[in-house]
Amino acid sequence: MAIRVDDQIVEAAAGSSVAEVLQKALSGKKFKSVVACAALCGDERRVIDLSAAVPDDAAGLEPVYADSPEGLQIIRHSTAHVMACAVKRLFPAAKVTIGPSIDNGFYYDFDVKHPFSSDDFAAIEAEMKKIVENRVPFIREDVKKNTALARFREMGEPYKVELIENLPGDTVSLYTCGEFTDLCRGPHVPHTGFSGASKLLSVAGAYWHGDEHNPMLSRIYGTAFADDKALSAYLKQLEEAKRRDHRKLGRELSLFMFQEEVAPGMVFWLPRGMMVRTILEDFWRREHLKRGYDIVQGPQLLRAETWQRSGHYDHYRQNMYFTQIDEDQYGIKPMNCVGHMLIFNNALHSYRDLPQRYFELGVVHRHEKSGVLHGLLRVRQFTQDDAHILCAPEQLEDEIVGVIRLIHDLMQLFGFKYKVLISTRPEDSIGTDEAWELATNALISAVKAVDLPYTINEGDGAFYGPKIDVVLLDCIGREWQCSTIQVDFTLPERFDLTYVGQDGERHRPVMVHRAIMGSLERFIGVVIEQYAGALPTWLAPEQARILTVTEAGNDAALAMRDELRALGIRVEVDTRNEKLGFKVREAQVAKIPFMLVVGEKEVQAHAMNVRLRNGDNAGLKSVGEVASLIRADAEEPFKQGGMRYSFS
């Protein structure tokens, strides 16, 4: 039969393996980098092993290369099997559970008497290296469930038995790598030689099926890449990420703390961290007022019936907290949209009043499992820079474009690159197909109008409408989900929102849900890591620190501090009886943008010697000149982004 491979037509004999066909079409070098293949069978794209026979209904074959996203996923999953094989050699009593690939790596969970630690990594990696060097093939078998059950019972692997018993159908697929056999759908790399660029990273505890009533397992995380160069680059990125870890910097810079025994997943903001929040919030409120938003605020609790009406009770209840008041059930708000719709309904609106743009820095609560809590990045209580735009259908595209431009300005201010995903209707959703199509098309049209590239993210929309998700990229290449824009025809219907049109009749508005920073906690965590704690001057809680050389300069330093504060500069003074070098080092560790040295000469001149955070020396400056210098530095990022924000 004739098979298309990379724009070539290749003749394949009946029963030929995928590898045999690909070898005819690809050069030797190209073929060596292929880890699997996608068989194109009608409308279906089926990824299979190279050792598999070419499907009878295949019209074409797409090679899956090792360095492609799909190829890396296969390498990582295969490396999880290699690691499990090594673990079973070294710890025969270990019971294996599951070992999937994940973003940037893989893990495998084991039931062991003594949990693994990083001290075990050297031995496990040495055993993995032997398996890799032997280029052990991955061999697939499709067997009857009863046969598989008998094999895993004989091996003493109860978790595999449980998994098989819960699988549909009469057959299952197994993969064998050396002496290790695992239940797996596949596909896998041809042999273990593809797992050479791998590294074990960390250990953690994990409950079987994520249920705290089940046994606690020992999880080993690792990563794998197509070659050593890519692995080395990733490990360097991890080291840099550790240096920038917002949890570490938050402690060192006294920004925030957590008290897990008191309020797990909830942040205590310390004075310096609260100053950062306050500066950010004040800027963001002003920016919204400039762009035509009205600031509102809704209550924290709403009756459960209200959440039933909105659909949150049926579709989002597992993420909500509830409480009882006077025998009535109330839901603590997980988002602000319901309150904003009730505000809209407080008055009768004309088409001339639209759009209505309601903005709220709203505190919300969402139930997150303890295992996923992660510093500021994943918390149970957080503040959303939430807004809801209620507009006429013909205004929708312009409103979405306006939000996109606000997102662009914010990303530019902080130096973030970003990419756009358009997420479509999920299975668990409300509303008509017609409404979903209108909403999705509006998002696509708006993104095209500003000439932004985008990717369709099938089935990941909110339960009430499709959305644009903005994924930002920080300075070391990591991705963070940030802004979201959601178009909703359904909730205005449920809450009977109307406006009076030009024809004098009642019409239904469209609602745009949008958050730009998203969670302020998460955004601040990302910003801390973006700048490695050295926040830009406009956002720094302490913009300057006056350092005295001797006690004789203390009174003059305190007077200059007060003058700078009167000019709007956030400044402290260090009058301790310590050497100047010690004070400078402490200010550098605290990442203070400006260090202002006051000695005998400066006292006489009523001036300060200015040192910058980067080590440069700006020389002797008067109090007014210092204030102007700091203000200019604070305003520079806004000038570059065209936001024209003034701190004078």
* Residue that is written with structure tokens 């500069």 in the block: 569
CA distance 453 to 446: 11
Going by their DSSP bridges, the two strands 328-332 and 301-303 should be labelled as antiparallel
Whole-angstrom Cα distance, residue 401 to residue 441?
13
Contact between 207 and 160 under an 8 Å Cβ cutoff? The reply is no
Q: Tokens 């849900």 — which residue? A: 513
Residues forming the active site = 337, 366, 384, 386, 388, 467, 513
Cα separation, 413 vs 137, whole angstroms: 51
Q: What is the CA radius of gyration of the chain?
A: 30
**Which residues in 520-583 belong to E strands, given as ranges?**
544-548, 571-574
Q: Could you give the CA distance from residue 51 to residue 22 in angstroms, rounded to a whole number?
A: 11
Distance between CA atoms of residues 608 and 569, nearest Å: 15
DSSP 584: H
Q: Token digits for 485?
A: 């824009």
Tell the residue number behind the tokens 């004739």, with chain if given: 2
Give the three-class secondary structure for 144: strand
Helix, strand, coil percentages (3-state) for the chain, rounded to 5, are 40, 30, 30
Phi and psi dihedrals of 55, rounded to 5? -60, 145
Euclidean distance between CA atoms 462 and 154, whole angstroms: 46
Task: Using the Cα atoms of residue 401, residue 403, residue 406 and residue 412 in order, give the sign of their dihedral.
Answer: negative
